[in-house]
Amino acid sequence: MIINVSEAKTNLSKLVEMAYHGEEVIIAKNNLPLVELVIHKPKKKRELGLLKGQINIPEYFMDEDEEINAMFYEESS
């Protein structure tokens, strides 16, 4: 079913219900199809640790660098 935007505004609840029950609903503007109403499919949960064992973070990663500290914290004359 192709329906124009103005008509879709007044019948949104009905169109959502139709799409939910598997009917194809396309919203058009000036008879040019723009969008299709589809059922929401939740994304799967993020899986933590996907790169475990593939990345090597050096032990000194969080150590301070004197040169950088001097740029930020030393007072200028």
Q: Which of 32, 29, 37, 40 is nearest to 12 (CA)?
A: 37
Write down the pLDDT at residue 47: 85
Structure token digits, residue 11:
């019948």
Q: Is 54 left (phi over 0), alpha (psi -120 to 50) or beta?
A: alpha
How many distinct structural domains can be found in the chain?
Answer: 1
Write down the pLDDT at residue 48: 87
Write down the pLDDT at residue 77: 53
Terminal CA-CA length for the chain: 74
State the pTM of this model. Answer: 0.54
Asked if residue 42 is part of any domain, the answer here is: no
User: Do 23 and 2 contact (CB within 8 A), yes or no?
Assistant: no
Asked if residue 26 is part of any domain, the answer here is: yes
Structure token digits, residue 19:
């799409």
- Mean pLDDT, consecutive 10-residue stretches, the chain (77 aa), reads 94 96 95 94 86 89 90 77
Write down the pLDDT at residue 23: 95
Asked if residue 13 is part of any domain, the answer here is: yes
